[in-house]
């Protein structure tokens, strides 16, 4: 799949393209091998998804606050989960649970034909929608809702990715995963979280635990 470039919003110093490329070099050094994921990460200006006061830290490999008790995930966590989700294959229809500021959804937009993203916090979703529109991203649809429920009217999805940690994969999301599809999520509570891959087969789900992670909790309902 050809990757479409976004408006770069290039600046100077910590918001420049050169700074993004240094971030990508660090991701490669940490073991990210998927060239398409690395390219997508290099194209998306992470600094526009955080407050101006935090933009100088936008390309550090760290989570940053985005308000409402939420964070933008570490660049490594985003890259790693997308690498696992793709598994070297083109993605068609993907569901993201936990839109947050919209950063991961925009990176996904470079890797999938259609991206649907759910956010439970209405005010945060409004910010994400404005940022996505400012970048002129046409293949990302964001909506307010309970991520545990997914979007049954749009399913099935060949990829589902959760940006918040639950104690288990929500049954509704498993049901909305296409046969042959992959779901990637952080599972667990507190400091005891693991990145988990679940693949749907014709008559069963196959699960693989990958590595330790740390994400905000997956909460029910809307706010």
- Residues annotated as catalytic are 73
Helix residue spans in 1-137 (DSSP H): 17-29, 35-43, 75-86, 103-109, 122-134
Q: Show the tokens assigned to 104.
A: 């991961």
Q: Produce one character per residue of 117-144: b if its CB has 16 or more CB atoms within 10 Å, e if not.
A: bbbbbeebbebbbebbeebebebbbbeb
Element spanning 31, H or E: none
Backbone angles phi, psi at 201, to 5 degrees: -105, 180
């Amino acid at each position: 799949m050809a990757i479409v470039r976004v408006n770069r919003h290039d600046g100077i110093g910590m918001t420049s393209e050169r700074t993004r490329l240094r971030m990508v070099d660090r991701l490669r050094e940490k073991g990210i091998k998927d060239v398409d994921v690395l390219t997508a990460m290099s194209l998306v200006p992470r600094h526009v998804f955080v407050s101006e006061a935090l933009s100088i830290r936008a390309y550090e490999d760290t989570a940053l606050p985005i308000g409402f008790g939420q964070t933008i995930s570490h660049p490594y966590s985003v890259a790693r989960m997308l690498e696992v989700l793709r598994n070297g294959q083109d993605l068609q229809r993907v569901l993201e649970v936990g839109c947050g500021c919209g950063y991961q959804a925009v990176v996904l937009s470079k890797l999938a034909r259609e991206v649907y993203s759910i956010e439970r916090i209405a005010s945060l979703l409004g910010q994400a929608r404005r940022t996505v529109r400012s970048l002129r991203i046409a293949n990302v649809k964001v909506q307010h809702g309970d991520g545990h429920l997914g979007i049954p009217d749009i399913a099935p999805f060949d990829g589902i990715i959760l940006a918040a940690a639950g104690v288990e994969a929500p049954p509704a999301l498993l049901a909305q995963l296409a046969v042959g599809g992959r779901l990637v999520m952080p599972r667990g509570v507190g400091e005891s979280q693991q990145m988990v891959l679940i693949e749907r087969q014709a008559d069963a789900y196959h699960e693989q635990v990958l590595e330790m992670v740390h994400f905000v909790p997956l909460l029910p309902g809307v706010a």
